[in-house]
Amino acid sequence: MTPHLRIFCAIDTRDVPTAAFLAERVTGQVGGIKLGLEFFMANGPEGVRKVREGQPGLPLFLDIKLHDIPNTVAGAIRSVTSLEPQFITLHAAGGAEMMRAARTAAEEEAARLRVRRPQLLAVTVLTSLDDYDLSRTGVSTRVEEQVLNLAVLAQESGMDGIVCSPHEVANVRAACGPDFVLMVPGVRPSWSPAQDQKRIMTPSEAVSAGADYIVIGRPITQATDPAASARKISVEMAG
């Protein structure tokens, strides 16, 4: 896979014209765009459609991190499958039954609509959390162990892959094999500040560790020239 195709650009805004502008600017320089909760809560499916109108072939990572009872999550998956995202996220902590229900819903709805089934990625431990933060939620295991536990559960429950920080990639790859998709946020180019991410690596380090895709937002979207910034990251990864 060429370096730029590994990059999903996180467009973290609630403004549709801004999101559409950024999507247009990075097309051809990244593998796809990520739209998350901030955007989806403000604009819903129609907002997603508007962003993709000008770039219909640009892959979409719909990062909505579903976490609810199995029937509700299954219904939510059915509701967004028509948007034809390449990836949708849900929380592994929702449990095996929830994840299995999501997989079944994705398969059935994609078949009904005659579209490609979205790949389901289970969120393990958010990259804003460290061991102390995790302990405050009642989880006594270390971050690395909890990520691995949830990754194995997700694979057993029919997920296509997980979301994890770059520091857990090597262990998850060893446990779950080469075909399990690893989507990795917490990635910052060497020339960019860490900001609110705690478990970070550079793009090259993350890919070398075994990441399939990396998520990069502000170093691209807040740059004066987003396309040039994306190209710079690709060159760094190839170097």
Q: Which residue has the tokens 């579903």?
A: 66
Name the catalytic one among 50, 65, 198, 232.
65
Domain that includes residue 80, residue range: 3-238
What does the pLDDT look like over 9-43, one tens digit per residue?
A: 999 999 999 999 999 999 999 999 999 999 999 99
- Torsion, Cα 71 72 74 80, to 10 degrees, reads 160
Residue 72, helix vs strand vs coil = helix
- What digits encode the pLDDT tens for the residues 83-141? 999 999 999 999 999 999 999 999 999 999 999 999 999 999 988 889 999 999 999 99
Mean pLDDT on 33-60: 94
65 carries an active-site annotation: yes
Structural domain count, the chain: 1
Q: How confident is the model at residue 194 (pLDDT cuts 50, 70, 90)?
A: low
φ and ψ at residue 170, rounded to 5 degrees = -60, -45
Write the CATH number for 73. 3.20.20.70
Whose CA is closest to 77, among 90, 93, 92? 90
- Percent of all residues in the chain with a pLDDT value above 70, rounded to a whole number: 95
The identity of residue 116, as a single letter, is: R
Predicted TM-score (pTM) of this structure: 0.93
